[in-house]
Amino acid sequence: MKFSEEFSERMMIEYGFGQRYAEKSFKDFQIITTEHKLIKPAAVKYVKEYQLNEDNLLMIGSKGTGKTFTASLISKSLYQYGLVETMYYARLHSLLSEVKSGFANVNNGINNGEKRENNFVKALYADLLILDEVGSYALTNYDYQQFFTLIDERYSNKLKTIFITNCDSVETFSSFLQAPIADRAFESIQIFEFGYTSVRSLYKKQAANI
């Protein structure tokens, strides 16, 4: 089964990706850096072998190196070819903040608390979860409790997660997760290292030279 490009774009937006990412596909992946030469074929291979492994993905590198873009291409391809039925994209800090404010709103009788709690449920049970900006903001103890609940539930149900981080090393990322979360996340994982050359800055330089 294969969904149309138009339908897949619409579902990408519904699952949390912006229009900028929803309309792209692997044909738009340009080899800009040395890391990209390795990452593009690895991403295509991950899609092709998706049903043969239980691997999470870690996209690590500086801002502007193409991590979220690559994650969106993988996610769209998996959905378009019927390899996942549901997915959900979220920025970790925003998701956890929604949970916290959602419960507070419920206690105060504000209706949008239910909607925000439902976003956490989407993240819990989506076939594929894409968590962006992991490690970009400090987490409270309460945040870590909710984060552990999220990853532990997905681990128990063998649901895959794509982690996207600007951390400067895998060790720093693992330390941010803390042991109980890291143990589950890293049990079966592929790591895509994007390096430190911003694609955005290269595009700006190219534009300036035209």
Q: Which helix (H) or strand (E) holds 203?
A: helix 199-209
User: Where does the chain have alpha helices with state H?
Assistant: 5-14, 19-22, 34-48, 67-80, 92-107, 112-125, 141-156, 170-177, 179-185, 199-209
CB neighbours (10 Å) of residue 177?
Answer: 24
Eight-state DSSP code of residue 52: G
Q: What is the pLDDT along the chain (210 residues), one digit of tens a residue?
A: 688 888 998 999 999 998 989 999 999 998 988 999 999 999 999 999 999 999 999 999 999 999 999 999 999 999 999 999 999 999 999 999 988 876 544 344 444 445 555 899 999 999 999 999 999 999 999 999 999 999 999 999 999 999 999 999 999 999 999 999 999 999 999 999 999 888 766 655 544 444
The domains of the chain, with CATH numbers, are 5-12+51-209 (3.40.50.300)
The whole-model pTM stands at 0.88
Tokens, residue 73: 């291409």
